Amino acid sequence: MQPGGTPVHTMPEPLTILCIASYHKGQTFLREAKRQGARVFLVTSESLRDADWPRESIDEIFFVRDDDKRWKLDDLLLGASHLARRTVIDRVVPLDDFDLEKASALREHLRIGGMGETTTRYFRDKLAMRLRAVDAKLPVPRFVHVLNEGAIRRFCAEVPAPWVLKPRLEAGTIGIRKVRNQDELWPIVDALGDRAAFHLLEEFIAGDVFHVDSLVDHSRVLAAVASGYGRPPFDVSHGGGVFTTQLLPRGSADERDVLATNRAVLSAMGLVRGVSHTEFIKRADGAWFFLETSARVGGAHIVELIEAATGANYWAEWAKIELAGGKTPYVPPVLREDYAGLVTCLAKDERPDLSAFSDPEVVWRLDKKHHAGVIVASPSHPRVAALVTSYAQRFAEQFSVFIPPGESPRD
């Protein structure tokens, strides 16, 4: 009300969402946020100034100086604070795994709602995930923080090798090593010096690796899709060959078990809203272990895989969930119950010829130099499984080339 006057009716301000993407990610998220009527700000790396961002969906774009995509947190905090002097920022959303800490630090600094620093740890730090899982009585591989020498020795005495040495804060199997005995372990630990404490060491669980991709609101898993990798991701990144994953048969014992464990994990870690890609190992004897979780969509074209099977695009759903922000209702999509499988590999040819992969079930082809990739989809699980097996074999024979980890740039 103006003093003594009539009410002033103003149009409601659009919500302002600030997206953080140190890597070139999330175009579909940005487009959907705009489509939903938000004002969309993107903060990205200076080195990605010329990347093909969906500029028509972005109101303002800001660049942060980067050293190979790494930022000084202060640059983000000060830059965003400057922006917040003239604009109220309603949401802060990280579009890549490595941006979660930046987003939570910024939320805490500006006192914006959403996942704070404590919870973010559970979705980024593999040691924090393990400890939280133990508190919640979830099955995890036995592990030790690579910190105290006595504790590491006790772990080595109790837990039979091989072990997995992994960085707490990486993704995409970067820096993960299999260690066969203490003779191998200690030189690595010594070489890491004080950086060793950024690692954990854990029991190697031989088995199959699965992933569940979830949409979450009000701390409830509203949609979840369970899939199984062909070979474990570690074997593909360290041994080369073809990467596959496909949806599990709906109603199967594996699907039921992994969906239930997924709900328990996300509840224990405290995901209130957003998306999650969470991984599990099933040991040969049938026991399930929680491998890792995240508060982002799956990488490696898993978004396209799920869309092919269900019709739902998780980037777009994530944008809707974040904008609803727990304040307005978010209605999850009804998932179509088809099946899909993804087959990819590094290719020796710059542009591998995929034209022979012409079954009517092929719904997507990867368009990326030195990569081959297809997604097949069908209402029939056996049909998808048969195509994945035969395509994986043909990819191995025709395209596959091995580039050791660390020698191909992260995409």
- Give the residues lining the site for ligand ADP (CB under 6 A): 141, 164, 166, 170-174, 176, 202-205, 209, 232-234, 279, 281, 291-292
Residue 14 DSSP code: P
Choose between 205 and 216: whose C-beta lies nearer to ligand ADP.
205
Q: Which is nearer to Mg ion, 168 or 320 (CB)?
A: 168
Contact footprint for Mg ion (CB under 5 A): 279
Choose the contact partner of 241 out of ligand ADP, Mg ion, none; CB within 5 to 8 A by kind. none
Q: How far is the CB of 258 from Mg ion (least distance, A)?
A: 15
If the CB atoms of residues 109 and 142 are measured against ligand ADP, the closer one turns out to be: 142
d(CA 67, CA 63): 13
Q: Which is nearer to ligand ADP, 116 or 239 (CB)?
A: 239
Closest distance between ligand ADP and the C-beta of residue 337, in Å?
26
Q: CB of residue 164 vs ligand ADP: minimum separation in angstroms? A: 4
Q: Please, which residue, 233 or 352, has the CB nearer to ligand ADP?
A: 233
Please, which residue, 274 or 352, has the CB nearer to ligand ADP?
A: 274
Q: Which residue has 């994990």 as its token pair?
A: 265
Q: Which strand (E) or helix (H) includes residue 155? A: helix 149-158
| Binds 21: which of ligand ADP, Mg ion, none (CB < 5-8 Å by kind) | none
Going by C-alpha positions, the residue among 355, 358, 308, 316 that lies closest to residue 335 is 308
Closest separation in Å from C-beta 162 to ligand ADP = 9
CB of 233 to Mg ion, least distance (A): 6
Task: Tell me the closest approach of the beta carbon of residue 349 to ligand ADP, in angstroms.
Answer: 27
How is 285-309 classified by DSSP, letter by letter? TS-EEEEE--SS--TTTHHHHHHHH
- Stated length of the chain: 411
Contact 247, 226 (CB under 8 A): yes
User: Which helix (H) or strand (E) segment is 152 a member of?
Assistant: helix 149-158
CB 265 within 8 A of CB 293: yes
Q: In the 8-state DSSP scheme, what is residue 56? A: G
Find out whether 395 and 345 touch, Cβ atoms under 8 Å: yes
